[in-house]
Amino acid sequence: MGTVRSSDAFHSNRINLKEPTMLMQILSHTPTWVFALFAGLLWLGGKQMLARRVKLARITLVALLMTGLSVAGVWLAFSGTAAALPIWALAAAQVATLVSRRPLPQGTRFDTATQECVVPGSAVPLALMMGIFLTKYTVGVLLAMQPALAQQLGFAVGLSAAYGLFSGVFVGRALRLWQLALRMDRETGLQAA
């Protein structure tokens, strides 16, 4: 059995990693800003692995930015598929609801004096950021190689649901902290009265 030529690698539904020209072509055609975005997300996600104090506005901003990246992935790749955005929204809403109902990690608290959340370090945000980035990058590469994939309903629906899942986790995690902050503010207000 011979090796698959790089031009035929996608059509055979497998990439021969022994043939480095395919990977090198993909990387060489990747815009520089994509590598900068990857480094920025890696840095931001890495910071989340340390315990920290953070304002709710920053937590909300990260959730909104990652949700925006997710929606952009769906819109840019599957705008021709009517089900894409509704599937994304449904997945995001369901996962956000589930995550927002889960208990906060031990050690999480809200400091009413400084209006900051004290959160333990976690690898989850890094994993989510890398998940969204790598999904978006992989979809971009696949669609550049075979644009017709965007018209396949199963491909569009599956990836829209995956993007929604990522967004839902970010939003659900932010909602949990907002719920904690509101509860602590209410309790502090009742104690002062």
What confidence tier does 190 reach under pLDDT thresholds 50, 70, 90?
low
pLDDT value for 192:
58
pLDDT of residue 166: 92
Task: Give the strand pairing for 52-55 and 116-119.
Answer: antiparallel
pLDDT band at 35 (very low <50, low <70, confident <90, very high): very high
The pLDDT score that the predictor gives to residue 109 is 93
pLDDT digits (tens, 9 = 90+) for 65-114: 989 988 988 998 888 788 999 999 999 999 999 999 999 999 999 998 89
Asked if residue 153 lies in contact with residue 38, where contact means CB atoms within 8 angstroms, the answer is no
Query: What pLDDT, in 10s, does the model give residues 58-71?
Result: 999 989 998 998 89
Asked whether the predicted pLDDT for residue 16 surpasses 60, the reply is no
> Dihedral of CA 158/140/49/188: which sign?
negative
Whole-number Å distance between alpha carbons of 139 and 145:
10
pLDDT at 1: 42
pTM for the model: 0.77
Higher pLDDT, residue 73 or 123: 123
Report pLDDT for 2. 42
Contact assessment for residue 180 and residue 101, using Cβ atoms and an 8 Å cutoff: no
Q: From the DSSP assignment, how many helices (H) and strands (E) are in the chain?
A: 7, 3
State the pLDDT at residue 15: 52
